[in-house]
Amino acid sequence: MATLPVFQTTGGRPGDIDVERLAHTTLGGGELKVESNQSRTTVRGPDVMIDLDHARGGLWAGDTARRWSAGAVELPMRSVGRIARAALTGANVLPRLGSAFRYARPRVMRAQTVTEQDGRRTVAAGEATYTQEIVVDVSGNRGVKADVLPFFGGGARFAATIGAGGHVVGVRGTWRDAVQADERKVLAVREAMEAAGVTPGDDMRVTGSTLGYYAAPPFVAQDLAFPVYAVTAEVRAGDRWVPSRVQLVPATDIGEIGVRESPTRPRADRVPWVAPTPVLRPGEALPSGLSVSAAVLRTRGLSPEDLLFRDVSGKIFLKPGLSGLDLGAIFEALRPRSFGTSWIGSLGGLGGSQANAQGFVDQMAAEGWQRRFNWGNAAAWKSDWTVHDDDWVDDVDFVFYTGHAGPDGWMLATNGVGDWINHSEVGSVANVPSDLWGQDNLEWVVIAACGPLEDDVINGGGNVHSRWIGAFDGLHLLLGYAAVTFDNTEEGRRVALYARQGMTMRQAWFRTAEEIQPSTNGYDDPYGPDVYAAAMWVGNATANNADDHLWGHGSVGPDIRNHTYSVAHFTPC
């Protein structure tokens, strides 16, 4: 009978990490604002952001002006390991480990940017990320066929990112000191899945499992580090089987991950929007918190470009000299900033999706935005994204999806069963068909799943541009992954939170991904082995949407319907 230890964690590492050195020496910050108490330290400056959680464990530090720079980055690759180790050790970021733990062999991954213009594809290597993971030493355990076991969940690893000229542009990591508290019997995989309530249906089949330990992502409380199985599976996509998100289930009778899904509410009408009553004046800015529906303007034979313009920061203004009829058309088309979610949980055998989507809902509601829909499982209709997108997905500013995905699309539902949206349904080129995402309102889409932005530059998967360029009928950013990822409850909350804190949408998503997902997943092409988050956008000679912010938190680019190039940016997790 195999047994494994369960560890009691002692929280974060108060006082260990040299925040001042990180801020000034490592990242080169100037005038900075520091706020600190017993549980947390935050540092903010024009280009520096540091979050350190003393109580729950977690560090994220970045030069926000240089981190995630799209395009070619000149690097002294032979020196990346040395520079990264110096950054991690110089600020006491790497902890001293107890006898039960040790460091695994480090690895280095590079960001990639793929630009397509006039039928030509250009690939540029970007910043390099050096990752140092912690493993559990079980070399003396005869019941386990391994010398070490990995951690899953986002914690128990550290990384430094090296940018242009060998400068450190990011440092992150999480470790909660731990001591053995118990020894527990290891359950069989099937028994562990049943105990955790993971019950694959007819459209899902388990393909394997890996034994390891759970380390919660940064900034999340964790009392116990306990054994888990990382369960791999496949889900039916039409006449094919594609990989599911990896699920973590406790491998002993101790431990719990996430929360169980509650009953999905039946489908109903959209949440009605509250009619605004602002004062509109020609030449002045559109009141904050509001957008203008292009679909409503079209019923009057008008377009947003006829009545509105943006300044260099992306703020929307009414054109000078508008008539009373013009103002009336704008008033009729006013809509509050709004969002929606679609998610596949138990319908696709996933346990974290409902809570993942709810975290997004909670953060956006706290921002003051209006929720128009939050549909899960059988209520997450594919038609909301296709034939009826004007009433749902394209009637809001920001949409979050979580569930199953692959290079060709993601899972939704039709008539109560899974039904996948395919890239062919959004068109082979932008604006053909011309009335999908962004034609009316939608700016940003997050697909928190196993894709759909796979590309040959990473693990294989074909050309992301040829598959997904048709999504850009005014859409600003398509955010997702380029590999199989792990099921979790955190992505929705974090991407919205970081956007609310002033990061660009791309930065908010990339930070979310690297805090939660592993750097490798054990899969072959096109689904692995390297795990990358990805962002796709379009541009022309005058504008692009690469650095969009959430409305009210910085600049936002224009709706681009006459793009001359497209960009896909990939960053390692």
Tens-digit pLDDT profile for residues 295-312 = 788 888 998 889 999 887
Tens-digit pLDDT profile for residues 482-538 = 999 999 999 999 999 999 999 999 999 999 999 999 999 999 999 999 999 999 999
- Given a cut of 80, whether residue 432 has pLDDT beyond it is no
Output the six-digit token pair for 456.
């040959």
Output the six-digit token pair for 6.
């369960």
| Percent over 90 (pLDDT), the chain | 78
- Given a cut of 70, whether residue 377 has pLDDT beyond it is yes
Least Cα distance to 393 among 373, 411, 418, 408 occurs for 373
Phi and psi at residue 8, in whole multiples of 5°?
-90, 125
pLDDT class of 444 with cuts at 50, 70, 90: very high
- Lowest-pLDDT range of 15-24, 113-122, 195-204, 267-276: 267-276
Q: What is the pLDDT of residue 296?
A: 84
Q: What is the pLDDT of residue 316?
A: 87
Query: Token match 């952001």: residue?
Result: 49
> CATH assignment of 336-572, given 3.10.450, 3.40.50, 3.90.1010, 1.10.287?
3.40.50
- Given a cut of 90, whether residue 44 has pLDDT beyond it is yes
Long-range CB pairs of 41-46 (<8 Å, 24+ gap) are 43/19
According to DSSP, the residues that pair with 242 across neighbouring strands are: 235
C-alpha 319/C-alpha 311 separation (Å) is 11
DSSP state of 455: B
The 10 Å Cβ neighbour count of residue 199 is 11
Tens-digit pLDDT profile for residues 84-111 = 999 999 999 999 999 999 999 999 999 9
Tens-digit pLDDT profile for residues 533-555 = 999 999 999 999 999 999 989 99
**Please, what is the average pLDDT of the chain?**
93
- Find the helix or strand (DSSP H, E) in which 413 lies: strand 409-414
- Given a cut of 90, whether residue 216 has pLDDT beyond it is yes
Strands 398-402 and 338-343: parallel
Please return the burial class of 146, using the count of CB atoms within 10 Å of its CB with bins 0-12, 13-18 and 19+.
middle
Query: What is the Rg, in whole angstroms, of the alpha carbon atoms belonging to the chain?
Result: 24
Strands 168-174 and 157-162: antiparallel
Strands 398-402 and 444-448: parallel
C-alpha 569/C-alpha 479 separation (Å) is 10
Least Cα distance to 488 among 155, 163, 202 occurs for 155
Least Cα distance to 233 among 195, 258, 196, 202 occurs for 202
- Given a cut of 80, whether residue 428 has pLDDT beyond it is no
Query: Token match 């390099």: residue?
Result: 128
Please give, one letter per residue, the 3-state secondary structure of 70-139: CCCCCCCHHHHHHHHHHHHHHCCCCCCCCCCEEECCCEEEEEEEEEEECCEEEEEEEEEEEEEEEEEECC
Q: How far is CA 381 from CA 45, 78, 342, 448, in A?
A: 43, 50, 8, 17
Least Cα distance to 190 among 260, 249, 259 occurs for 249
Q: How far is CA 159 from CA 23, 94, 108, 129, 173, in A?
A: 16, 9, 9, 7, 6
- Given a cut of 70, whether residue 159 has pLDDT beyond it is yes
C-alpha 573/C-alpha 570 separation (Å) is 10
Q: Which amino acid is at 562?
A: N
128-139 per-residue burial string, b: 16 or more CB within 10 A, e: under 16: bbbbbbbbbebe
Q: What is the pLDDT of residue 276?
A: 63
Q: What is the pLDDT of residue 55?
A: 86
pLDDT class of 202 with cuts at 50, 70, 90: confident
Identify whether the C-beta of residue 42 lies closer than 8 Å to the C-beta of residue 77: no
| Percent over 70 (pLDDT), the chain | 97
| Residue 121 or residue 54, greater confidence | 121
